[in-house]
Chains A and B, each alone.
Chain A
């Protein structure tokens, strides 16, 4: 059974994604801040991480940078799920950091998120 870590500060959205992935048979772990995400990732060692960008204190990019430095976590596929828009600067930065996919929350259905996650699992 695949394990997913959802790092998302918005409880409503996080629970919605948790529900979706649980329903699909995933083992789900949730972190509600960037800091909590950095703490849980090495513990849980998920197969894939769903990561929000706009979070207080430690934002998504900071989370990626730290995870990529850690031998244990640097190979975990990361999918960004954000409302930060399509600004090329963010997408370029994310790609430079080695992010696998960049999804826009309000443009992507839960089903599409699931499919993207599955695709990345297969790669892994």
Chain B
């Protein structure tokens, strides 16, 4: 709307300036008005003595021009506007007394404004819509301004001596129009702002002009450079609180203010900036949507310099200035962000690479250049798979069709890849961690992706060193633990003489503690092996039932000591090959599977006080979603403590232990199930738990069927 307003004003003034006589003025003028206000019809009547004479009518048929002039005695809407000099809005015409019958039958809503120039009403302008419309204050203000400009043009045509001023106004409006059209493409906003403030100041015959913006940190309204006819010191000193003077009032209320006298508060503000000769001033808020950025203020050394008409024009022009101010500050912010971004991009140690929506590289930061050895220019417009390439953790190449970048560009979901490999300029591969995030435009459409990558060569080395250190340390711990165990066993066996019951109990406790240390070292070693991928899996065909029975007989003594029943059941198995005894053949690593069974059955015994532990093997059923049909499922069911749903979720995490009064006495490292899970997964199986707190748990794992 604001953009259109200046354009409209310019066009109207241009039409008026170029019109040779009144009849050639009306139609082109009104076409602009109708288009700007988006109305269906309009008419202008001028005041000729005691009559309102219709000069032009558009969109309401030719018959209306044949209607006679309206005498003041007849009254009606138009005459009421002439007399009150105020606009009238009528939303429903059928409820009003209308002079013209044609109008009341075809139109629904109207705005009628007086055409005023130099405080004189010279006629009225009315615009109509066929459908109901609620005209806003903005519409009315624009109609009024247009009408007044038109009035000025009419008068100007009539009196040749004002032609010169008219020309000047046209030139300045033309310049302003040019400026506002080109805002989007202008980069020198300071110049643009200066031009706008300068044009407005001159157009309205003012002496000084300034843009005063609200500073949110200081909570002050402060003039900004550039300003018209004010030196730098005056600009610096032109500042005020938001409740101070007319500028404060305009800012707070968000309305334009015309002050033909300077009140005390305003005078104080002006005196600080050495603007003591100001006699009148115009202020309009700079509004963008609901936000008020500040005000634009022009000052005159002449008393009563500004008219209501000036205020209206100023209001429209200031809305134009607001756009420039806003664009200017947005541009500055973007510039600053851009500088920050580029500083950030070049300072961070991580490689940053941007691709467009087709996956072609459009940016590589300097860290990225350092890491890869490529120069940005060498990668631009090429795909990652064509240049850096992408290999998985297993060093197998990832094809373009499976590229995670392509996936992010499609689904917009951020992706992280740990330990993948990229190729350097010299052809060597380096390990990297990758994060890929989609970039989107204002409409949320994916326009590309940002890939952040980090060379993790050093980290992998450190990780390996750490693992080796842990491995050596834990290995070294085993020897003293074995020594302590040996001596404790000797003491307990009476090698050093008969023990008192107290001493025997204490030494037994120490033995248990030592055992715990040993278990911890053992688990840590296993964790280290798994994490370094040093665990070898040699799958062989074997009968899992036989292995279960072996482990059960090994652990039977532990179960008996607690009074638990430990047994195996074979359910729903595959037919045995040739033999009568049923069997369940799997393809798995014997030692690792033994370890899995020992861990699960050992845990079941540990966490069960009364009842039984039952181990079953069965072929998987299709109904079981967690496993596939070609798998064997081993379940270890106990009647022990069970656990909460929360506990079940975290159970397989490293160092997680269920904490309760009942488990406090049970020792453990919190590593066993993590290790077990890894061992199952390494063999291509899955592990899961079903449990009811207080009722018992069932641990299940699957293994591929042989």
A residues engaging B (CB < 8 A)? 10, 12-13, 16-17, 19-20, 23, 83, 85-86, 88, 105-106, 109-111
Q: Are B490 and A105 in contact (CB under 8 A)?
A: no
Q: Are B493 and A12 in contact (CB under 8 A)?
A: no
Q: Are B490 and A19 in contact (CB under 8 A)?
A: yes
Q: Are A111 and B489 in contact (CB under 8 A)?
A: yes
Chain B 464-504 per-residue mask, 1 if CB under 8 angstroms from chain A, else 0: 00000000000100111111011101100101000000000
B591 at the interface (CB under 8 A from A): yes
Q: Are B485 and A12 in contact (CB under 8 A)?
A: no
Q: Are A16 and B483 in contact (CB under 8 A)?
A: yes
* Residues in B whose Cβ lies below 8 Å from that of A20: 486, 490, 495
B522 at the interface (CB under 8 A from A): yes
- When C-beta atoms are compared, the residue in chain B nearest to A19 turns out to be B490
Q: Are A10 and B486 in contact (CB under 8 A)?
A: no
Question: Looking at the complex, which one of A85, A86, A88, A109 makes contact with B486 (CB distance below 8 Å)?
Answer: A109
Bound Cα distance A69, B487 (Å): 36
Question: Looking at the complex, which one of A16, A19, A111 makes contact with B493 (CB distance below 8 Å)?
Answer: A111
B640 at the interface (CB under 8 A from A): no
Bound Cα distance A79, B597 (Å): 28
Question: Looking at the complex, which one of B482, B487, B489, B591 makes contact with A105 (CB distance below 8 Å)?
Answer: B482
Looking at A12, A83, A85, A106, the one whose CB has the most chain B CB atoms below 10 A away is: A106
- When C-beta atoms are compared, the residue in chain B nearest to A112 turns out to be B489
B256 at the interface (CB under 8 A from A): no
B285 at the interface (CB under 8 A from A): no
- Besides A12-B483, A83-B475, A105-B482, 10 other CB < 8 A contacts? A12-B479, A12-B480, A13-B482, A19-B490, A20-B486, A88-B538, A105-B478, A106-B518, A106-B521, A110-B489
- Do A106 and B522 form a contact, CB below 8 Å, given A12-B479, A13-B483, A86-B591? yes
- Do A83 and B489 form a contact, CB below 8 Å, given A20-B495, A88-B591? no
* Residues in B whose Cβ lies below 8 Å from that of A106: 478, 481-482, 485, 518, 521-522
If over half of B's interface residues share one DSSP class (helix, strand or loop), that class is named, otherwise mixed; here it is helix
Q: B565-621: which have CB < 8 Å to A?
A: 591
Bound Cα distance A83, B521 (Å): 12
B residues engaging A (CB < 8 A)? 475, 478-483, 485-487, 489-490, 493, 495, 518, 521-522, 525, 538, 591
Bound Cα distance A17, B495 (Å): 13
Bound Cα distance A110, B496 (Å): 14
* Residues in A whose Cβ lies below 8 Å from that of B493: 111
Looking at B478, B479, B480, B493, the one whose CB has the most chain A CB atoms below 10 A away is: B479
Q: Are A16 and B481 in contact (CB under 8 A)?
A: no
- Do A83 and B479 form a contact, CB below 8 Å, given A88-B591, A111-B493? yes
Q: Are B479 and A109 in contact (CB under 8 A)?
A: no
- When C-beta atoms are compared, the residue in chain B nearest to A83 turns out to be B478
Q: How far is the CB of B598 from chain A (nearest CB, A)?
A: 12
Q: How far is the CB of A90 from chain B (nearest CB, A)?
A: 13
* Residues in B whose Cβ lies below 8 Å from that of A88: 538, 591
Bound Cα distance A122, B666 (Å): 41
- When C-beta atoms are compared, the residue in chain B nearest to A15 turns out to be B483
- When C-beta atoms are compared, the residue in chain A nearest to B493 turns out to be A111
* Residues in A whose Cβ lies below 8 Å from that of B518: 106
Q: Are A17 and B490 in contact (CB under 8 A)?
A: no
Q: Which 7 A/B pairs are nearest by Cβ-Cβ distance?
A: A16-B486, A110-B486, A105-B482, A12-B483, A109-B489, A106-B478, A106-B482
Q: Are B591 and A23 in contact (CB under 8 A)?
A: no
* Residues in B whose Cβ lies below 8 Å from that of A110: 485-486, 489-490
- Do A13 and B522 form a contact, CB below 8 Å, given A23-B495, A83-B478, A106-B478? no
